[in-house]
Amino acid sequence: MKVGAYALAAAILLSVAPASAQEKTETIRLTIASSHPPVIPWVLAMKNTVVEKSNKALEAKGSKYRIEWNEAYGGVLYNFENTIEAIEQGITDFGWVGTLWEPAKMPLQNIMFATPFVNDDPTISVKVMDEMMKKPEFQKEWSSQNAIYFSATTSDSYQLFTKFPVKTLEDLKGRKILAAGAVGTWVEALGGTFVNSGIPAMYNGVQTGVGEGVALIPSGAIPIKLHEVAPYVTYVDLGSVTFGAFAVNKKRWESLPKEVQDVLRPLAMEYAAENIKIVKARETAGLERIKNEGAKISTLPPEERKRWAAAMPNLAKKWVEENEKKGLPARQIMIDYMTAMRAAGAKPARDWDKGL
């Protein structure tokens, strides 16, 4: 009887002990943030991948770790002009970085803004940027900011949202056009007046007369109901570009346990594909909705689009010259980039690598 009692007690202990051990989890607190709200595709993509899937993946691996996410979107911690500084200084651990507002600090990340009318497919944009990121010069732009790049933010093609109809390039001359960072050169090339702005400020900017229109991607314009104040939507297909990325503070990343890194890294790499999926779905559905709400959607005639591409100064050459002065192999980078674009299936309206 005594032996049987001991055996029963031992069996109970063996069955309970593993379960008790599994219940002892260790919480890691991480902040993920953005200057833009989660209604915007490239912010929602962070939430859908890293935030929503991380703890499920940790649990599936039998990890003792769990992550408590502090989600701070919509400019709660910093504005659109300070996204890389927020990562660099550890204001946030993970976050979206708008490289388009960093032409001085991160010129290589902005190469697509020096080459409009090259490609309208966001999948191609990401593929080419991922290839360029293999170059040490591209990686250095992140490491020098105490940041680690995971995957690129891309978009549908840039279009025009204006208070007035646009049928020819002359309709844009002298007009005040809101745009973000590097997009300004596209506007100024036509004789328009560029007004720097981030998406959260664009609706009020047009409504109050700061600008008369906006050069923006539909996936960014539709969620903020830009068509209410700028009802003329003109498809000009300026190009799909990579304008930012999902990144992490380097020191914070290196402080994480390896098993947590092993779970978060592939999720962070899913970010670009999730962003593209959201962008494509929203553009199709969104255009139909805003049309029903009074937006006047048209397409710039092909001959006018060709005129626009030809009328632009040689932005690529200027970009190369400016960055060669900084000691960067910008000419070869531009050649490699355009070669990669064509190889990926892009059909440029202008060969920016010619005449460098």
Residue 43 above 70 pLDDT? yes
Decide: 154 and 272 in contact? Cβ < 8 Å. Answer: yes
Task: Using the predicted structure, report yes or no on whether residue 213 has a pLDDT greater than 70.
Answer: yes
**pLDDT the model gives residue 137:** 97
pLDDT at 188: 83
Kindly tell me if the per-residue pLDDT of 4 is higher than 80. no
| 189: in domain | yes
Dihedral sign of CA atoms 341, 342, 346, 352 in order: positive
Is the pLDDT at 99 greater than 80? The verdict is: yes
- Count of structural domains within the chain: 2
**235 and 253 co-located in one domain:** no
- Residues 325, 220, single domain; the answer is yes
Beta strands in the chain (DSSP E): 26-33, 65-72, 94-97, 147-154, 159-162, 176-179, 193-196, 213-216, 232-235, 242-249, 296-299
Give 69's contacts (C-beta < 8 A, 6+ positions apart): 30, 31, 32, 51, 54
Give 310-350 pLDDT, tens digit per residue.
888 899 999 999 999 999 999 999 999 999 999 999 999 99
| Inside any domain, residue 89 | yes
**CA 113: distance to chain centroid?**
13
* Region for residue 303 given its phi and psi (left: phi exceeds 0; alpha: psi -120 to 50; beta: otherwise): alpha
Residue 233, domain CATH: 3.40.190.170
Single out the residue in 284, 301, 318 at which a domain terminates.
284
Residues of the chain above pLDDT 70, percent? 94
212 in a structural domain: yes
The rounded mean pLDDT for the chain is: 91
CA gap 211, 121 in Å, rounded: 28
**Judgement on whether residues 37 and 163 belong to the same structural domain of the protein:** no
Residues 236 and 319 in one domain: yes
pLDDT tens digit string along 80-92?
Answer: 899 999 999 999 9
d(CA 127, CA 340): 9
Structural domain includes residue 131: yes
- Residues 51, 179, single domain; the answer is no
| Predicted TM-score of the model (pTM) | 0.82
Q: Residue 185's pLDDT is what?
A: 81
pLDDT band for 7, please (50, 70, 90 cuts): very low
Q: Is residue 171 located within the same domain as residue 297?
A: yes
Helix, strand, or coil (residue 209): coil
Q: Are residues 55 and 176 in the same domain?
A: no
- Provide the pLDDT for residue 24: 85
How far are the Cα atoms of 114, 209, 210, 318 from residue 193, in angstroms, in the given order?
A: 18, 13, 11, 20
Is there a domain that residue 1 lies in?
A: no
> Of 11-25, 184-198, 216-230, which has the strongest mean pLDDT?
216-230
pLDDT band at 1 (very low <50, low <70, confident <90, very high): very low
pLDDT at residue 216 is higher than 90: yes
Provide the CA 51 distance to its chain's centre, in angstroms: 17
| Mean pLDDT (whole number) for 184-192 | 81
For residues 31 and 67, the answer to whether their CB atoms sit within 8 Å is: no
| 222 and 251 assigned to the same domain | no
In a domain, 17, yes or no: no
Q: Considering only CA atoms, give the Rg of the chain.
A: 24
Q: Are residues 102 and 205 in the same domain?
A: no
143-187 pLDDT, tens per residue? Answer: 999 999 999 999 888 999 999 999 999 999 999 999 987 788 888
The tokens of 30 are what?
A: 């991480």
Do 308 and 278 lie in one domain? The reply is no
Is residue 194 one of the residues assigned to a domain?
yes
- Full residue range of the structural domain in which residue 228 is found: 159-240+292-344
- The mean pLDDT value for 292-320 works out to 92
Residue count of the chain: 356
Q: Are residues 231 and 308 in the same domain?
A: yes
CB proximity list for 255: less than 8 A, separation 6 or greater: none
Residue 301 above 60 pLDDT? yes
Identify the pLDDT of residue 23: 60
Show Cβ contacts of residue 209 under 8 Å, excluding neighbours closer than 6 positions.
none
Percentage of residues in the chain with pLDDT exceeding 90? 76
Going through 283-336 in order, the beta strands assigned E by DSSP cover: 296-299
* Order of all β-strands in the sheet with 94-97: 65-72, 26-33, 94-97, 242-249, 147-154
Taking the C-alpha atoms of residue 350 and residue 268, their distance in angstroms, rounded to an integer, is 34
Q: Are residues 216 and 98 in the same domain?
A: no
Least confidently predicted of 11-25, 46-60, 190-204: 11-25
Neighbours of 320 (CB within 10 A): 24
Q: Which of 238, 217, 199, 218 is nearest to 286 (CA)?
A: 218
Could you tell me if 220 and 40 are in contact, meaning their C-beta atoms sit under 8 angstroms apart? Answer: yes
- For the segment 102-120, the average pLDDT, to the nearest whole number, is 94
Which DSSP symbol is given to 196? E
Does the pLDDT at position 19 exceed 70? Answer: no
The pLDDT tens digits of the residues spanning 55-80 come to: 999 999 999 999 999 999 999 999 98
Q: List CB contacts of 129: < 8 A, sequence separation 6 or more.
A: 112, 152, 154, 242
> Does residue 3 belong to any structural domain of this protein?
no
- For 262-332, strand residue ranges (E) read 296-299
